[in-house]
A and B are shown apart, each in its own frame.
Chain A
């Protein structure tokens, strides 16, 4: 979220009560609203409030995540052996979510304060770098800034999805009842007293009594956090009370459950409803949760793959353009050959062929996407370098006897950064589309990990009677790609005001 770093400084609105001034300093956004930058201030304030709302909404998980984190750290020091035994990898996402929300809040608070406090020393204003100018230009473009805001929100969702998702993305139980529930539907659930599947027998733990308490607590907390199913719930099509039993209908069958095993004998208490905002898939998994978790794959994978391809493309382009002659010919011929592969073929071949190698599938896809999409950038960079290396400042650097590395990275690279950044932003959308296509062809991210592409894949055969499974994730993809394209276009216009809206 680097764009927060380019926040303009604010002159505090003069006067005001001490309370207002306190708010100015401690609630990000307020000072901006008061000093006239209303749009930015409201956005900032809304963002901060969204964090607060999310934390309050999921405060139980929030606290548990910190307890889990704290206990794990404690055990890591005093008893790492047992920590390994009881380690649950899934809790890390909860730690990240909890730490992220706290760190983000602190960061926003600090940035807000900092930009207010340095306001006296106006001298800093003079650095009207190319970046600052571009940012000012970019801010004028409403559509592009909207895109940027949506992207920031989506990346926040990526971090916070354990708190935001109503259910675990892979949680399924009572599939007969819950499968293919349309959007906005509800399912009746009975609340059970005990977990349906018993957990690890704690008494059998052979633990050093000194840390036993901490370990038990960690296990309990982690289990609460990572509970996949609806351990204490049972979804039914209908129920009625008969004596001391509840007769639950599930599909064509009736099942009798003793009231004693329910949380209460009062139907208003033991029966409840579970709402699926976006419906469920064929296993009865909540689609909203899966789409939220699926954003992690698409957004992080797209970002990293582009980072990889841009670095590689830039490097090759720099080398080819700067050293010229044979280096240039060889590298550019390689580029030509790789460009002669139709877009998807190369990716398909490599992934299919290296499928059996034991690397995580996500890593394989990132690397392959990165390695097959750098050619365009390297051509672009090469072209820029060819003209840059004849410029006076590069000649001067040569004359001063600087080494190649220094000239390349200090004198040439900074001048090609803007086209690279614009190109990279526009590329992320494309990469996200390719990743989704791979998942759709069933060679992308493998189930049960949710990705937008494989949710669509899972729904394609049931289009006729469960349209929502394939339809809804598609909107998520379109939203993200549109936003990246908008931001990319906005950046291009901002960096190159001459081009402005006249063209495309």
Chain B
């Protein structure tokens, strides 16, 4: 097991390296000069030269690459062009916000998805089953940003129940701790719902299919014949096997959640990494773009890793050597 773990972690390294290299070259080979964003009009051309040199953009490409690689490996992520601050600091500030959002979205996704999957599988062919299936189809086919806007329109603007955007109220810093948490929680409801609900629809579909497959097997009939209660049969015997494919979904849904976070954070003005990435891309802030990509890449790769390991944990038939 440990050996497998080490091997998987080691094999993730070239993946990460490839990811970073691709990002680096896409960005550097692109036309368009970031300096021109800051130096406009009839400024002394020497100033532009100096700025370029200071930002390390006047070196030849391979040299830039090596320098950047060295920096990255030693944890030096560089200085953001547009925010004039250490990239690492900016990330430390925004990453927790995104993690907060995605963690709750992931939880919501699995609680709702698994719940609906179990209900629809057990009540197959019933009215509930059809309703849930049709609703899932529509939710799944909805653009996230539109769903977000519709919720802002309906819940925040019309009903006036939840805040429409941001992460806390303007005066949040004067609140006591429990009040602060409550404030953030209120702001979080809509983004978490939007981010999680589409994946929940997909999870529900998988769960339903997976449980239906298990439920018709002999050992379940045996368990019932033994006189076990239905709760025990489903909850313990059937779920144990039906959960296996769902566990893999856990890791695989991370890229979608992170991609979705870009949209959801923009819609709800959530100060997280997604919004940061968009801002960085628009201001051609190379170090920041690369760092954001790296962080999200690390999360995706580790998500897959976790999924693999969980897979081994829940299914003892799988042995990794």
> Does B bind A?
yes
Where the two chains meet, the residues of A that have a C-beta atom closer than 8 Å to any C-beta of B are 333-334, 336-345, 348-350, 352-357, 429, 433, 436-437, 440-441, 453, 456, 460, 463-464, 467, 470-471, 474, 477-478, 481-482, 485-486, 502-504
Cβ contact within 8 Å between B289 and A477: no
A-B CB contact pairs (8 Å), 7 listed: A342-B296, A348-B277, A349-B23, A353-B32, A355-B32, A441-B266, A481-B141
Does B132 count as interface, using CB distance less than 8 angstroms?
Answer: no
- Once A337-B15, A436-B143 are accepted as A-B contacts, the answer to whether A485 and B278 lie under 8 Å apart by CB is no
Q: Which residues of B contact A437 (CB under 8 A)?
A: 143-145, 263
Does B297 count as interface, using CB distance less than 8 angstroms?
Answer: yes
Q: Determine which of B152, B284, B297 lies in contact with A463 in the assembled complex, contact meaning CB atoms within 8 Å.
A: B152
Where the two chains meet, the residues of B that have a C-beta atom closer than 8 Å to any C-beta of A are 14-16, 18-19, 22-23, 26-27, 30-32, 137-138, 140-146, 149-150, 152-153, 157, 205-206, 208-209, 212-213, 254-256, 258-260, 262-263, 266-267, 277-278, 281-282, 284, 289, 292-293, 296-297, 299-301
- Once A357-B31, A477-B143 are accepted as A-B contacts, the answer to whether A352 and B15 lie under 8 Å apart by CB is no
Distance between Cα atoms of A39 and B14 in the complex (Å): 57
Main secondary structure of the interface of B (DSSP, over half): helix
Distance between Cα atoms of A453 and B144 in the complex (Å): 11
Which of the listed residues A460, A485, A486 has the most CB atoms from chain B within 10 Å of its own CB?
A: A460
Cβ contact within 8 Å between A353 and B30: yes
Cβ contact within 8 Å between A463 and B149: yes
9 more contacts with CB within 8 A, not counting A333-B14, A354-B30, A477-B143, are A336-B15, A336-B18, A337-B22, A340-B19, A343-B260, A437-B144, A471-B149, A474-B143, A482-B141
Cβ contact within 8 Å between B141 and A429: yes
Q: Which residues of B contact A338 (CB under 8 A)?
A: 22
Cβ contact within 8 Å between A341 and B32: no
Chain A: minimal CB distance from B275 (Å)? 11
Cβ contact within 8 Å between B258 and A342: yes
Which of the listed residues B157, B209, B281, B292 has the most CB atoms from chain A within 10 Å of its own CB?
A: B281
Q: Which residues of A contact B32 (CB under 8 A)?
A: 353, 355-356
Q: Which residues of B contact A433 (CB under 8 A)?
A: 141, 143
Distance between Cα atoms of A477 and B143 in the complex (Å): 8
Distance between Cα atoms of A332 and B208 in the complex (Å): 31
Cβ contact within 8 Å between A343 and B259: yes
Question: Which residue of the partner chain A has the closest CB to B12?
Answer: A340
Q: Which residues of B contact A456 (CB under 8 A)?
A: 143, 145-146, 149
Q: Which residues of B contact A339 (CB under 8 A)?
A: 255
Chain A: minimal CB distance from B312 (Å)? 20
Distance between Cα atoms of A304 and B141 in the complex (Å): 19
Cβ contact within 8 Å between A348 and B281: yes
Cβ contact within 8 Å between A341 and B263: no
Q: Determine which of A341, A352, A353, A474 lies in contact with B300 in the assembled complex, contact meaning CB atoms within 8 Å.
A: A341
Question: Which residue of the partner chain B has the closest CB to A474?
Answer: B146
- Once A345-B277, A349-B281, A436-B143 are accepted as A-B contacts, the answer to whether A464 and B209 lie under 8 Å apart by CB is no
Distance between Cα atoms of A436 and B142 in the complex (Å): 10
Distance between Cα atoms of A294 and B152 in the complex (Å): 24
Q: Determine which of A352, A429, A440, A504 lies in contact with B209 in the assembled complex, contact meaning CB atoms within 8 Å.
A: A504
The 7 A-B residue pairs with the shortest CB-CB distance, nearest first, are A343-B259, A337-B18, A481-B141, A344-B259, A353-B30, A474-B146, A342-B258
Q: Which residues of A contact B278 (CB under 8 A)?
A: 348, 441
Distance between Cα atoms of A338 and B18 in the complex (Å): 9
